[in-house]
Amino acid sequence: MQTYPDKHPIRTEDGTLTLYSSTYDQAYHSTQAGALTESLTKHVLPALHLQHAKDHLTILDINYGLGYNTLATLYHIRKHHLETTVHILSPELDEALVRSLKDFDYPPEFDTLKPVIEALSRDLHYEDKQCTIDILIGDARKTVPQIPTSTIDIVYQDAFSPQANPLMWTREWFADVRALCAEDAILTTYSTAAATRMALHENGFELYEYHPEGTRRSLVASSSPIEMGRLDGLEWIDMELKIKRNPEGRSLRDGEVV
């Protein structure tokens, strides 16, 4: 496996490998949940479950990193023989990382995805009959507003944390994301921070706490209300009540963070 000047591999709780970034002083995944487990339980399973009725999905995977969310999406679709076609768009600043991933020690679940991993490392693009993937190299704050669509069905908001990478969590960032979303888009994120909830709420998202089996709670946001009972473990967050109880609560804002 490739070595990096600013990152080193760590084995996570479910046995899958992630990286630790000394630049951001943070691991790419929750080491307690496990890289693959986190990707499946907090992002892929709830999002695909809620959007299962669609025969085509456009997914924004923020940000590509090691590609677990993109690859776990394909893994899930193939494992369950889903017929939906999918287009995944994924911003990433670190081109050298993406180029190196052909040699990354992924879990056996991704063994059949080797041709996908190799094509993405080489071309930043992959395409077959069911699935198209584009990695958008550059600063997501610049590349995302240029995506020519307003029909994103699923957003995996999986940047480094609001403390480590605040510009990926501001009110203005979520305004850019929201502008690309379909009326019934689903956004998943591991961050349940008050500032994250506020930024999403201020952009008109409905918010839900999600309690996946076996891992910590996470957040599901939706462009329009989700009917109760559609996904086990989902609990609506009454943001007006939260704001009444904590009027000081504030979203992160561009211009106030770097």
Enumerate binding residues for ligand SAM (CB under 6 A): 28, 39, 63, 65-69, 91-94, 139-141, 158-160, 165
Q: How far is the CB of 137 from ligand SAM (least distance, A)?
A: 8
CA neighbor of 48 nearest in space, from 120, 128, 130, 155? 155
Q: How far is the CB of 145 from ligand SAM (least distance, A)?
A: 12
Residue 144 or residue 181: which is nearer to ligand SAM going by CB?
144
Residue 13 or residue 94: which is nearer to ligand SAM going by CB?
94
Q: How far is the CB of 218 from ligand SAM (least distance, A)?
A: 13
Q: How far is the CB of 8 from ligand SAM (least distance, A)?
A: 14
Closest residue to ligand SAM in the complex (CB): 65
The answer to whether the peptide bond before residue 63 is cis (omega within 30 degrees of 0) is yes
Q: Contacts for 99-102 with beta carbons within 8 Å, 24 or more apart?
A: 100/2, 100/4, 101/66, 101/67
Secondary structure E strands in 13-55: 17-21, 26-27
Whether residue 226 contacts residue 50, with contact meaning beta carbons closer than 8 Å, is answered with yes
Residue 93 or residue 257: which is nearer to ligand SAM going by CB?
93
CA neighbor of 167 nearest in space, from 142, 135, 201? 142
Q: How far is the CB of 63 from ligand SAM (least distance, A)?
A: 3
Residue 124 has phi, psi (to 5 degrees) of 60, 20
What lies within 8 Å, CB to CB, of 256 at 6+ separation is none
Q: How far is the CB of 122 from ligand SAM (least distance, A)?
A: 18
What lies within 8 Å, CB to CB, of 33 at 6+ separation is 12, 13, 14, 41, 42, 215, 216
Whether residue 68 contacts residue 29, with contact meaning beta carbons closer than 8 Å, is answered with yes
Residue 38 or residue 153: which is nearer to ligand SAM going by CB?
38
Q: Specify the amino acid at residue 123.
A: D
Distance CA 35, CA 42 (A): 11
Residue 68 or residue 75: which is nearer to ligand SAM going by CB?
68
Residue 67 or residue 205: which is nearer to ligand SAM going by CB?
67
Q: How far is the CB of 203 from ligand SAM (least distance, A)?
A: 19
CA neighbor of 57 nearest in space, from 146, 149, 179? 149
Residue 43 or residue 87: which is nearer to ligand SAM going by CB?
43
